[in-house]
Amino acid sequence: MRDSKPQRRSDCPISFSLDLLGDSWSLLIIRDILFAGKRTFGEFLASDEGIARNILTNRLSRLEAMGLITKNPHPTDKRKDLYALTEAGLDLLPVLWELSAWGAKYEPETAETFAALADIPMDKDSLIQLIRKTVQSGGSVFAGPGSVVEQLEQR
């Protein structure tokens, strides 16, 4: 993590994590990279939750400053940047997995998306490793060629 950490209110690791990620948008941006393969400002802006441009700009800058994402020029479109998760960002995958499981359990209308992965006959740790490897190579869970879902369907 870089030196842009917020002032700690205590020595509690949960408090520290919430200071970094406790806003309404940061984990959703990380979710979009992991699960939907989103990589550009425009793709994040088009997410169902409807984030405002100024908020998105702020959160992307904060996530980059915190060392959770990187920003690099798009190779073919100089007007765009591509965002990717760092190792620290990828380390949030189990957290998002458990948040998904919790949300699906307590709000069944949200369970459909998570069910596609929860029913896979693979232990959770192996599945998380597959997701991590896929995202590290530029893929995602649900979207694009080589997605985790596509890989699992081919087994």
What is the spatial distance between Cα 21 and Cα 28, in angstroms, rounded to a whole number? 10
Structural domains of the chain, ranges and CATH numbers in brackets: 13-143 (1.10.10.10)
Using the predicted structure, report yes or no on whether residue 134 has a pLDDT greater than 90. Answer: yes
Reported as half-sphere exposure (CB side, CA atoms, 13 A), residue 34 has a value of 24
What are the tens digits of pLDDT across the range 15-56? 888 888 888 899 999 999 999 999 999 999 999 999 999 999
pLDDT one-digit tens code per residue, 98-116:
888 888 888 888 777 777 7
DSSP element (H, E) containing 86: none
Q: Which helix (H) or strand (E) holds 22?
A: none
Q: Which residue has the higher pLDDT, 87 or 118?
A: 87
Is the pLDDT at 117 greater than 80, yes or no? no
Q: What's the CA gap between 148 and 155, in Å, rounded?
A: 11
Look at residue 66 in the predicted model and tell me its pLDDT: 92
